[in-house]
């Protein structure tokens, strides 16, 4: 999916769950570096380490995916980060204008 999105320039945001980071020393089955694995197929790839970072990472992911040249973005979300509570007030971002305005001069 990421390979096809990259070839087609599809502005796609992919999120994937990851094993609890507190268990990484026990080498669980799903303990691979998902963000690193997806990095060569995406415009930007990141792993969230704190729940407070989720809103910023999601907002940045959509912004990066939509900026020319458009393409896929990958976000890895560990289980323990997704289980944390978070107080967040949504503030809409400004629209992203990517078109050029051409003016004719005489």
According to DSSP, the residues that pair with 13 across neighbouring strands are 73
Q: 99 in a domain, yes or no?
A: no
Number of domains in the chain: 1
Q: 14 in a domain, yes or no?
A: yes
Give dist(CA 7, CA 71) in Å, integer: 8
Q: 64 in a domain, yes or no?
A: yes
Q: 35 in a domain, yes or no?
A: yes
Q: 30 in a domain, yes or no?
A: yes
* Per-residue pLDDT at 47: 92
Task: List the domain range (segments joined by +) for residue 78.
Answer: 2-83
- The CB-side HSE value for 84 (13 A sphere, CA atoms) comes to 16
Angstrom CA distances, 50 to 73, 77, 106, stand at: 19, 9, 56
User: What tens digit of pLDDT does each residue of 35-86 get?
Assistant: 888 899 999 999 999 999 999 999 999 999 999 999 999 999 988 888 888 8
For the entire predicted model, the pTM comes to 0.77
Give the CATH number, domain containing residue 49: 3.40.50.970
DSSP 8-state secondary structure symbol assigned to residue 21: G
Q: 12 in a domain, yes or no?
A: yes
């Amino acid at each position: 999916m990421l390979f096809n999105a990259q070839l087609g320039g599809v502005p796609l945001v992919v999120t994937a769950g990851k094993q609890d980071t507190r268990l990484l020393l026990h080498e669980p089955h799903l303990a691979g570096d998902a963000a690193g694995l997806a990095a060569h197929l995406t415009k930007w790839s990141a792993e969230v380490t704190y729940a407070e970072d989720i809103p910023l990472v999601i907002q940045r992911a959509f912004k990066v995916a939509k900026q020319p040249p458009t393409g896929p973005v990958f976000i890895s979300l560990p289980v323990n980060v997704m289980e944390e509570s978070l107080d967040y007030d949504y503030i809409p971002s400004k629209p992203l204008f990517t078109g050029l305005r051409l003016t004719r001069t005489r």
